[in-house]
Amino acid sequence: MLNTQYSSPSPVRRGGWGVRFWHRRIAILSAGFLLLTAVTGILWAYAPHLYFKEGYLKKKSLKAAPSLSAARLAPQEAIRLAEAAGKVGPAESVVLRAEGGRLVFEVVRREGKAAHSQLVDAISGEKLSPLDEKMAAAVAAEYVVGNPTLKNATVIDNYRHRSGKLVPSVYRVAFVASGNPEIYIDRNSAAIVEESDDARAFHFWVMKLHQLQFFGTKKELTLIPGLALILLVITGMLIWWRRYRALS
């Protein structure tokens, strides 16, 4: 006669599988964020040795220009011409410098907290602000190595710099050269606002990816990997606690 014994199945611990399920997926997510941070951090740190060229926002090909002593216009006359150009506040400063092969006065006028620059040719007295395409191209060419061919020059109003600063109007000047350089010039002051090429565009993308600066945010999205690590610790403690209770 067969003696058959039946054993009842061991009870299933409800919820344990769910915690382990989410713990593993949070671990994968956290590992992905850590790997992304490590790779982009290394690329960022070693960019000058890997692909980032020196001389960022600096002039590389100075054009021949008259010496400062060749200025025929007095600073007071430059201020008068600048003030006659528009109803802005009084002049705050005036600077004589060479720009794009020309000798110019930059007159800075302040209206409240905003500063407005106007350029005046120091020899002819011609008002140069806002810059025309020819002058913008001449200024931008000084920030590119060699004597590249102009590709195009485009006016961009209310240009938002990657730092968040808003510039009322700039010229984006592109050249036919190695790396596809693009120079952004302030139309009023002729100051360089941004310099970009293929290598720098990649570098800025790496910086943006490292800091998770997407959807108009700055560093707010970095809370996601931080939250993932916290959840990883919490779910790990829950798994340990359930095993501890099962063994006790």
pLDDT of res. 16:
45
- Collapsing DSSP states into helix, strand and coil, what is residue 240? helix
Give the number of C-alpha atoms closer than 13 A to the C-alpha of residue 30, restricted to the C-beta side: 14
> What does the domain layout of the chain look like in residue ranges?
19-49+211-247, 51-205
Phi/psi for 190 (5° steps) reads: 65, 15
Provide the pLDDT for residue 5. Answer: 54
Q: Does residue 3 register a pLDDT over 50?
A: yes
How high is the pLDDT of residue 11? Answer: 47
Residue 101 main-chain phi, psi, to 5 deg: 85, 5
What local confidence, expressed as pLDDT, does residue 244 receive?
82
Whole-model pTM over 0.95: no
> For residue 210, is pLDDT > 60?
yes
Which of 60-64, 180-184, 215-219 is predicted with the least confidence, judged by mean pLDDT? 215-219
Residue type, 17: W
The string of pLDDT tens digits covering residues 12-51 is 444 445 888 888 888 888 888 889 889 988 888 888 777 7
Cβ–Cβ < 8 Å for 183, 190: no
- Per-residue pLDDT, averaged over 169-191, amounts to 95
For the record, the structure tokens of 167 come out as: 């510039």
Identify the weakest region by mean pLDDT among 62-66, 120-124, 172-176. Answer: 62-66
Q: Could you say which architecture CATH assigns to the domain 51-205?
A: Roll (3.10)
- CA gap 200, 77 in Å, rounded: 41
Record the tokens describing residue 184, joined without a space: 């952004």
Alpha helix (H) residue ranges in the chain = 16-45, 47-50, 75-84, 133-141, 198-210, 223-247
Number of helices (H), then strands (E), belonging to the chain: the values are 6, 7
Question: In terms of pLDDT, which residue wins out, 73 or 226?
Answer: 73
Mean pLDDT of 104-119: 89
